[in-house]
Amino acid sequence: MAKLLRLVATRLGLGLLTLLVVSVLIFFAVELLPGDLAEAVLGQAATEETVEAMRRQLGLDRPAPVRYLEWLGGALRGDFGTSLISGAPVGEAIATRFANTLFLAAYAAVIAVPLAILLGVLVALLRNSIFDRVANVATLTSISSPEFFVGYILILFLSIRTGWFPSNASLSGDMSLTDQLYRAFLSALTLVLVVTAHMMRMTRAAIINLLASPYIEMARLKGVPPWRRIVRHALPNAWAPIINVVALNLAYLITGVVLVEVVFVYPGIGQLLVDAVAKRDFPIVQACCLIFAATFILLNLAADVGAILTNPRLRHPK
């Protein structure tokens, strides 16, 4: 157990190091943008004095490494600076948006992950049957279609034609949970369709990969029926690749859903990022990117730990 904790601690340390490197990249990528930041922000209103004032206000007259350290120090305390457009603290602007994104991601994940694993086990059990082939074609189709297209199709059939669900998923804080779930349903469903396919195919492949192992043949020669061979004998050994692909998809649900948010007018962090880029609100862009990087690193760490926890050789050393 101590060994496991040490492993987790090492991974966490490495994750923090990665995050530090990423923060450097994010900060200086903005620096590298052509033109003067102050000019860009002011746009048409740029006169020599206003630009000079803006530069001083933004602290651009000081060297970049100093500003980086200040920014990093602030970020560590949760202070990402103030928005260039609204003047409000970045943390506040992001907090509600990020909470919305997490809500939608959790909503989709709670449906998609169990569904994907269940379907994966099922198609592994019924491999090469009609059911397997239909599932194969359906998942390939959903992987190959862009998510905004899937979204519009769902709006067409479940919203416009039938009127069952609202196509506009804008939330507000005073809605009840059921109301929120109802409003966000189509966006969640779109995401479910996009990520389920990937996870299900990996589950199927990971299980089928193990079916040629001697211990599966042993189970078969012990008279263990097919469903039990898959669920009890193959699945426990297939967790590592499945957990990895689940983690990747969860990361996508948090960081990659801009298009879906746009289609359903969902007030998530993706939209915020796109808006901020368009308006050159760089403190927000930097904060969003840092959050995305942290999300990826944390989920990958979780996947590594999960893979270790499901490996009996590591869990029960000699």
Residues composing the chain: 318
Query: Min. distance of Cβ 2 from another protein in angstroms?
Result: 18
Q: Is 221 helix (H, G, I), strand (E, B) or coil?
A: helix
Query: Min. distance of Cβ 318 from another protein in angstroms?
Result: 5
Query: Min. distance of Cβ 76 from another protein in angstroms?
Result: 38
CB burial class (10 A; 0-12, 13-18, 19+) of residue 5?
exposed
* DSSP state for residue 199 in the 8-state scheme: H
Q: Using CA atoms, how far apart are residues 302 and 8, in angstroms rounded to an integer?
A: 9
By C-alpha distance, which of 158, 171, 167, 154 is closest to 101? 171
- Smaller CB distance to another protein: residue 158 or 211? 211
Query: Min. distance of Cβ 8 from another protein in angstroms?
Result: 21
- Smaller CB distance to another protein: residue 90 or 124? 124
Q: 281 and 241 in contact (C-beta within 8 Å)? A: no
- Smaller CB distance to another protein: residue 224 or 298? 224
Q: Is 302 helix (H, G, I), strand (E, B) or coil?
A: helix
- Smaller CB distance to another protein: residue 130 or 212? 212
How many other C-beta atoms are found inside a 10 Å radius of the C-beta of residue 47?
A: 9
Q: Which residues contact 252 (CB under 8 A, 6 or more apart)?
A: 195
- Smaller CB distance to another protein: residue 67 or 220? 220
82: β partners: 89
Query: Min. distance of Cβ 221 from another protein in angstroms?
Result: 4
Q: Provide the binding-site residues for another protein, judged by CB under 8 A.
A: 212-215, 217-225, 228, 232-233, 236-237, 312-313, 316, 318
- Smaller CB distance to another protein: residue 141 or 213? 213
Query: Min. distance of Cβ 314 from another protein in angstroms?
Result: 10
**Tokens at residue 140, please?**
């390939």
By C-alpha distance, which of 18, 19, 31 is closest to 68? 31
What element of type H or E holds 198? helix 185-210
By C-alpha distance, which of 15, 18, 5 is closest to 308? 5
- Smaller CB distance to another protein: residue 161 or 222? 222
Query: Min. distance of Cβ 16 from another protein in angstroms?
Result: 28
